[in-house]
Amino acid sequence: MRAITLASQEGGTGKSTLCIGLAVAAKEDGERVFILETDRQGTIANWAARRANPEPVVERVADRFQLERALRALQRRGCTLAIIDTPGSDNDLVADAIRAAMLCLVPARPSLADIEATHPTLKTIRGLGKEFAFVLNQTPPRGQRPSRCALDLNEVGVLALPYIVQRNDHMDSLAAGLGVSEFAPDSIAAAEIRALWAWSKQKLAMNSPAEKQAPERDEAPATQTRADGAVEIANNGSLYSAVLLQSLRLATLPWAPWLRPQRARAAEHEVDQSRTD
């Protein structure tokens, strides 16, 4: 069983909505998905109560012991994917949810303040040695702001693509007790969520112990842009080739030095020092 944890200390970044969208997209892709909700606000539990389809199953978790028991039980029940939603806080339960994950997704709105607000979450993720990626969420449908933010994150290898544009279909599907790919299956919002799931699925495969021991293969699904602007999955080619092509459209904005690798920061410091001398 694989586990994805959505975590960010900042509230209002759309963790629960992303969790629902990814879970439904994964279920449509043949996964046996369970959602573990550690957030007392209960957004996902309320969504499940409005839902006619009993899957994906949602289970609320109040403490670390319930989380451990739930994960063991899901393993025995043949669950292939657990998606863990966390509250907008930094506590032991969030740390345990991160520890249980094979991949941590950190939703953030596309602004410097929102990215910097995730620093405590990143500190926990890095301290536990977990793979992670930012998801730029609730991005404006027009303008260069998400593009400027995305390039720097992509350069340090921590950007999940595509970023998720703020669209009414996400809010309307939540109110209807549906995933966006069920509510508006042919919409751009649904295509973005499916592509994000495909990216996450590929990342999970790369992080699995069997994949790390096996020879490298080039069988990853790719994303491509349709005529209507939606992102969909192509049959062949590398996912990361598509990511690179998308990144070439982005503008440069070096605003996050604390995200850069330590070696790069040291090199910059040496250059600055030599100029001073």
Read off the pLDDT band of 273 (50, 70, 90): low
pLDDT at 100: 96
Phi and psi angles of residue 37, each rounded to the nearest 5 degrees, phi first:
-105, 115
Return d(Cα 22, Cα 198) in angstroms, integer.
9
As a whole number of angstroms, the distance between CA 109 and CA 118 comes to: 10
Percent of the chain with pLDDT over 70: 71
Average pLDDT, the chain: 79
pLDDT greater at residue 51 or residue 141: 51
144 pLDDT higher than 70: no
pTM of the entire structure?
Answer: 0.76
Q: Which CATH number fits domain 2-276: 3.40.640.10, 3.20.20.70, 3.40.50.300, 3.40.50.720?
A: 3.40.50.300
Greater confidence (144 vs 79) lies with 79
Is the pLDDT higher at 217 or at 109? 109
If pLDDT is split at 50, 70 and 90, which confidence band does 10 have? confident
Which of 76-90, 148-162, 226-240 tops mean pLDDT?
76-90
Q: Give the amino acid at 12.
A: G
Q: What are phi and psi of 272, to 5 degrees?
A: -60, -40
